[in-house]
Amino acid sequence: MSYNGPGTPMKIGGASSWRGTDRTNGFLMRNADGRIPAIQNSFADLVIDALSPFVAESAVPWGNALFVDQSEVETKSGVMHTNKPAVGYLAGVLKFDQGIQTGHPVQNWGLMEFGKGTRIVSGLIGYKHSMAEVGQETEYLAYLKGDRTQDVDTVRHTYADWMAAFAEADEGDRLALFFGNASGFPIFSIVPAGTLPVLADATFAGFAAPALFEPENEAVFVDLKTTTWHTEPAVTP
């Protein structure tokens, strides 16, 4: 099953064709009847924080984290932040929108700040690429925008990188999704068995399910958790 845009071939010359064209993070897993459970809703306001790496673009990449400021829970419950507030928690993930992507062929990597978006609160969410590590925000954004010079392992990780890391992991280790606190960009990391899923300057979001890896689409699906981990300490595992 393809998660690419309309008319996009899955592979060209043995290489997946999504690189540099469709940015399809943040899509819900589907099956034949499309009834895999998920919780999702629209949000009223999207705040791109002043220190966000994509503030100049006025757009937020698909599959990025959406945070809520704890002080606004009662008064501004519909306001989503792109950066984690001082006292905040993960409120969901920006859902990929095929219609908006198709309608914006030049800027197809995310939702414009003025656009109406949908957040996924819980469900099996697909990813095809991620930031390599905290600190690569500028370079990773350039990669999303189509800069092929940033299409390198030190900037972005893809299915092949995740599978290589998972293949070398010990029994019981898990592939986990985190979001950078200063950007909301996704980061995948191996969490050793018996340890808490923590990563410096990032927020834990959920574990990837090995049974749901999709090599044909080069995608992994994460069981998103927005109700378990809120304000993890910024420590290195």
pLDDT digits (tens, 9 = 90+) for 149-201: 998 999 999 999 999 999 999 999 999 999 999 999 999 999 999 999 999 99
The identity of residue 189, as a single letter, is: S
**Lowest-confidence region among 4-8, 45-49, 104-108:** 4-8
Band of the pLDDT at 117, cuts 50, 70, 90? Answer: confident
Q: How far is Cα 141 from Cα 198, in angstroms, rounded to an integer?
A: 24
Partners of 221 in the beta sheet?
126
Q: How far is Cα 178 from Cα 50, in angstroms, rounded to an integer?
A: 22
Burial class (CB in 10 A: 0-12, 13-18, 19+), 74: exposed
CB atoms within 10 A of CB 134: 18
Could you tell me what percentage of the chain is helix, strand and coil, using 3-state DSSP and rounding each to the nearest 5?
Answer: 15, 30, 55
pLDDT for 33: 66
* CB contact set of 51 (below 8 Å; sequence gap of 6+): 83, 182
Quick one: DSSP state of residue 226? Answer: S
For the four alpha carbons of 134, 136, 137 and 143, in that order, the dihedral sign comes to negative
The identity of residue 93, as a single letter, is: V
Question: Which has the higher per-residue pLDDT, 84 or 232?
Answer: 84
Per the prediction, the chain carries an average pLDDT of 83
pTM (2 decimals)? 0.85
Check pLDDT > 60 for residue 237.
no
What does the pLDDT average to over 53-64? Answer: 92
**Gyration radius (Cα) of the chain, Å:** 17
pLDDT for 23: 55
**Lowest-confidence region among 20-24, 50-54, 207-211:** 20-24
Check pLDDT > 70 for residue 22.
no
* CB contact set of 1 (below 8 Å; sequence gap of 6+): 30, 214, 216, 217
Question: Which has the higher per-residue pLDDT, 173 or 4?
Answer: 173
pLDDT for 2: 44
The identity of residue 155, as a single letter, is: V
Count CA within 13 A, CB hemisphere, residue 204: 25
Question: Which has the higher per-residue pLDDT, 40 or 209?
Answer: 40
pLDDT for 115: 73
Check pLDDT > 60 for residue 231.
no
What does the pLDDT average to over 62-76? Answer: 88
pLDDT for 110: 87
